[in-house]
Structure 1
């Protein structure tokens, strides 16, 4: 089992790629906290990254699971797909992120935390 790590300062794509190498190859799972502006990466499951953030003070309603495809550019490098996103009580009935504003917040957060080099 691979444990995740919290990212609160910029991290390079190269560092993420190195983490992904031992797991899924060219992509990595992440959970973002849209309220606190941090994310967890590298857990075997989105639930692992979610649990790590919850242990460090995040609120579940602020957490969204994504996948980062490190060899991709543009909007395709972020995939909104995770079981933790299914939240009918919050109006999200899919594994994706149904609300466009929330997707934009996630994109902005990831772009601020993941740098090219």
Structure 2
């Protein structure tokens, strides 16, 4: 797993995807720190790494990156870690406009 603090190219994401799931890279984003963890088998693995780096649970959201689909379809908001009744997020998507 890697923590990404600077922009990463679609080419690099595509290479990571080929080494894992073929067409996607799982990621967890810390919206406060503007960093993300990538390369885990599960979003929960990446979430745990960011929590160990002092990220706050409320700021972590799971996404899937599809580098071969281009900019418009790059991000898929679908992860079990996104289900948070305490934040009024009742689905695997990210319902908050934040």
Q: 2:23 maps to what in 1?
A: 26
Instruction: Report how far residue 84 of structure 1 moved.
Output: 0.1
Superposed, 1:73-112 pairs within 5 Å as 73-99=70-96, 101-102=97-98
Q: 1:49 maps to what in 2?
A: 46
1:56-90 deviation per Cα after TM superposition (whole angstroms, max 9, x unaligned)? 11001000000011111243211000000000011
TM-score (normalizing by structure 2)? 0.94
Over the aligned positions, Cα root-mean-square deviation in angstroms equals 1.0
Instruction: Report how far residue 22 of structure 1 moved.
Output: 1.6
Residue 45 (structure 2) pairs with residue 65 (structure 1): no
What is the DSSP-based 3-state SS (H/G/I as helix, E as strand, rest coil) of the residue aligned with 1:35?
A: coil
Distance across 1 between alignment mates of 2:70 and 2:12: 16
Distance across 2 between alignment mates of 1:22 and 1:74: 21
Question: Where in structure 1 are there 5+ consecutive unaligned residues?
Answer: 103-117
Distance across 2 between alignment mates of 1:83 and 1:77: 19
Question: Where in structure 2 are there 5+ consecutive unaligned residues?
Answer: none
Distance across 2 between alignment mates of 1:74 and 1:13: 9
Q: 1:15 maps to what in 2?
A: 12
TM-score (normalizing by structure 1)? 0.80
